[in-house]
């Protein structure tokens, strides 16, 4: 049994150290920390909030220059 620390991104594992992984092996994956929200979800939330703020400011008076 061998333990390898690294990163799991988009379905691919990248070891933190310079080691050679076997091409095919039985493995157990342990996730050390929960993944953060995907960028698309964060971006989507940003635009929903942006649209909400624009809609809320539709009838605000514009200051004179």
- Flag whether 29 is in a domain: yes
Tokens of 61: 């008076």
Is residue 1 in some structural domain? no
Establish if 47 belongs to a structural domain: yes
Evaluate whether 32 touches 13 at the Cβ level (below 8 Å).
no
17-62 confidence digits (pLDDT tens): 988 888 899 988 888 887 676 666 667 788 888 888 888 888 888 7
**Predicted structure pTM score:** 0.42
Is 61 a domain residue?
A: no
Question: Total domain count for the chain?
Answer: 1
The single-letter DSSP state of residue 19 is: -
CB < 8 Å & 24+ apart, contacts of 55-62: none
Cβ pair 12, 21 in contact under 8 A: no
Domain extent for 36: 6-56
Q: Mention every residue, 6+ apart, whose C-beta is less than 8 A from residue 19.
A: 4
């Amino acid at each position: 049994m061998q333990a390898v620390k690294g990163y799991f991104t988009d379905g691919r594992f990248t070891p933190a150290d310079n080691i050679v992984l076997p091409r095919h092996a039985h493995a157990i994956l342990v996730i050390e920390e929960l993944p953060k929200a995907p960028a698309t979800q964060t971006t989507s939330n940003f635009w929903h909030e942006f649209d909400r703020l624009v809609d809320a400011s539709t009838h605000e008076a514009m200051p004179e220059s």
